[in-house]
Structures are given as structure tokens and as C-alpha cells.
Amino acid sequence: MSAKPPAITVNPDAMPDADAVMLETTPMIGVGQTLHEPIDGFFEIVVLLVVGVSIGFIGTLIGAGGGFLVVPVLIIFYKFIPHYAVGTSMIIVFLNALSGTFAYVSQKRIDYEIGIKYSVVAIPGVIIGALFALNISINAFYAIFAMLLTVMAYILIFVNDFYLVRENVEDQPMRRTMRDAFGTTYVYSPDMAVGFSGSFIVGIISGLLGLGGGIIHVPFMNFIGMPLHVATATSHFIIVITSFFGLITFLGLGAINVDYAVVLGIGSILGAYYGARASIKTHSEMLKKIIAILLVLLSIKLFLNIT
């Protein structure tokens, strides 16, 4: 006769908690990986401040802001994972745009009506782009950003004036007149339809890549028929609004390093001030070629990071 199998007593309290099992088996963002290099000591703060000054100086010198440099610098030199770099960059973009907007308010070059209309369209795009940034693979992010830097380098060297305005748009609807604080009168008829659709796409790109500076908005506003000075001022006004919603989104996602953002932001504002003064005396064509080479080197480094 076979022995009776031993009784098994189950203690409910000893059973593993389902949530604990999920935590052990489900990968989480940031678990097992370094989100970024920490700021370690006064010397590194000074170095980071100098980096911020350089970014602000270079960005202002070519009229593009510093956002397009912040993200690759954070990824390459400070080991940020992409969405942390994008979120941190968004604060710096906001501070730069806010600083520039104060100056443009006094110059009376902001078209507030167009700025508000395009901002309303761009804000959803920024939020969508931020959510994409949180979920996009690291390799895809590197590839997209590297290609963008390469395109920017090409534009700086080979592209001069280009306008994306439909035929006969100047005879249509919205003819605007603006007189700035220096007595210059601007008369223009922006292509509003292209502007609305483009603003949404620009918003997505800004949220996805942590940009939002003039490198996107100034050319776009100029493309649709706005004078360059008005486009620059109005795009800064738009960026203040859109980047604010972007940084709020990234704060909600917990994807911003405030320490880096503050130090880089202060540095970039200082750099922007001196960059604006230096731009008056600098040979623009030679400068563009130097910046283009820098962008190509950054893009190559990003491509090499793809595994």
C-alpha cells in the first residue's frame, strides 16, 4: 500500500505579492541604467557654466538659439538618456526665449496676433512630441537627431533665401503692417494655412528633440512670408509659450534635471548676451561653416553611439 502524500499547508501571508512580482519582472525606466552623470563639485559646476556660455554664444551668433546644441552635448558628454536630455533642454530653451522676448517687446517687432494663433496650434504638438520622446528607442532618437544636425549643417553652408509661400497669397486675405521702435515699417502677407499646419509639426519636433529655438521657428516664419526681423521676434514669443508647456509636460513625466538646467540656463543667457554683441562684428559666412563642421562632428558621434 502506497504512503499517503504529506499534507501541504499554504500560508496566505507567505504568498508573494502580485505587485512585488510585477516590480521584479517588469523593466522600469531608469532601473539598471544611469540617467545622467551627476554634477560633482564646484569645478564641474564651473565647467558646466562655461559649456552653457558657449552654447548661448554660438546659438545667438547664428540666430538659432542653443537648444540644438544642448541635447547632443548632454547625451555625448554627460551621458544623459534621451528623454532626460530633451526635458532638461526644454528649460534652457524657455529661459533663452524669455530673455530674447523681453528685448523684442521693447523693439515692437512681435506680431502678437499671429504668435498667439500659432502657439495654440503648436502646444498640442509639443505635448505629443514630449510623449514620443519618453517612449522612442535610444537608437531611433540618435538617428533622428543626427540626421537633423546633418540637415542643419547643409542649410548653413548651401541654402540662402527660401520661401514657402503659395502663389498669389500676397493678394489674399491677411495683409499686415507693423512699425517697430526704430521707425522701420514692415508690410507682409503670411501664408496662414501653411503656418497653422507647419506650427503643429514644428511643435512635435520641438517636444520630441528638445529644440524650439530659432533653428526651427525663425526659418519657418520666414518661409511663410514674414520679414526676418518680425519672424525672429514673433518666433521667440511663440517659443516662450510652447516651451513652457513642454517643460511642464516633462516635469510631470519626471524627466528634467533641474541642477543641469539652471547652471546651463544661466550660462546660455550670459553667452547669448555676448553672442548678440559679437554677431555685429563677426564674418557670418565663415562662422556658419565653422558651426556646420561642429554639427557634422556631433552627428557623427551620435551615429557612432547607435548599437
pLDDT in tens, 256-305: 898 899 999 899 888 877 876 776 566 656 767 777 888 888 889 888 88
- Give the pLDDT confidence of 9-55 residue by residue, as tens digits: 445 454 444 444 333 333 333 433 456 667 878 899 999 999 999 88
Assigned domain for 20 exists: no
Neighbouring C-alpha atoms within 13 Å toward the C-beta of 303: 11
User: What are the strands, taking DSSP E only, across the chain?
Assistant: 176-179, 185-188
In a domain, 175, yes or no: no
How many C-beta atoms surround the C-beta of residue 23 within 10 A?
Answer: 11
8 A C-beta contact, residue 95 and residue 70:
no
For residue 45, the model assigns a pLDDT of 92
Domain count for the chain: 1
Coil vs helix vs strand at 8: coil
What integer best gives the mean pLDDT of the chain? 78
Query: Which band of pLDDT confidence, cut at 50, 70 and 90, is reported for residue 152?
Result: confident
Find the domain containing 210 and state its range. 40-166+180-305
**Looking at the domain assignment, is residue 21 inside a domain?**
no
Stretch 75-81: mean pLDDT, rounded?
A: 89
Give the percent of the chain with pLDDT over 70: 77
At residue 79, φ and ψ (nearest 5 deg) are 60, 35
Sequence-ordered list of residues with C-beta below 8 angstroms from that of 64, at least 6 positions apart, any chain: 213, 214, 215, 218
What's the rounded Cα separation, in Å, for the pair 307 and 295?
A: 21
Query: Is position 31 within any domain?
Result: no
- By C-alpha distance, which of 215, 185, 187 is closest to 89? 215
